[in-house]
Amino acid sequence: MQPFQRVLVLFAVIALVGFAGVLLWERNQFQARGLSGSWLKVRLASIPAALLAALVAVVPARNTSGMEGLAVFYILLLVASPLLWFGMHWAVGRLVKPPLSFADSARIAASPLVYALIVAGVAPVLQSIAWSLTRA
């Protein structure tokens, strides 16, 4: 494995450990309010919600030929997928016992998206450090 690949793997591992820390912090916030069971059910529902939100954007785009497929993909990715993502979290949050408010469900849905944006923002800043490490 090349040194730069090692740095990328290290960054990915650190990002995953950081996300586990965010999930632990989030669970503790809901546990303090007596909603840890509801939080877990909604958080686990994020897995099929992510798959379905991705399929909603990818499948119609692949079935559309030419540059229109790219337009369909972006429109569905920016409009339909977020609506489905937050809507599924809200629906599951309403079905669990005790039910979660829309704000709690939206917080659960938004936390991985916000974390991914933060990691994506930090990555370019750390790129110069990574290049320095690979030259060393």
Write down the mean pLDDT value for the chain: 93
- Distance CA(27)–CA(34), nearest Å, equals 10
For 100, list phi and psi in degrees, rounded to 5. Answer: -100, 150
Q: Give this prediction's pTM.
A: 0.87
Q: What is the pLDDT of residues 24-55, one digit of tens each?
A: 999 999 999 999 999 999 999 999 999 999 99
Of all residues in the chain, what percent carry a pLDDT higher than 70? 100
Q: What is the pLDDT of residues 65-94, one digit of tens each?
A: 889 999 999 999 999 999 999 999 999 999
| One-letter amino acid of 42 | V
Helix (H, G, I), strand (E, B) or coil at 76: helix
Q: What pLDDT score does 7 carry?
A: 81
Helix (H, G, I), strand (E, B) or coil at 35: coil
- Distance (Å) of CA 45 to CA 17, 69, 104, 116, 130: 21, 29, 14, 18, 36
Q: What are the structural domain ranges in the chain?
A: 3-135
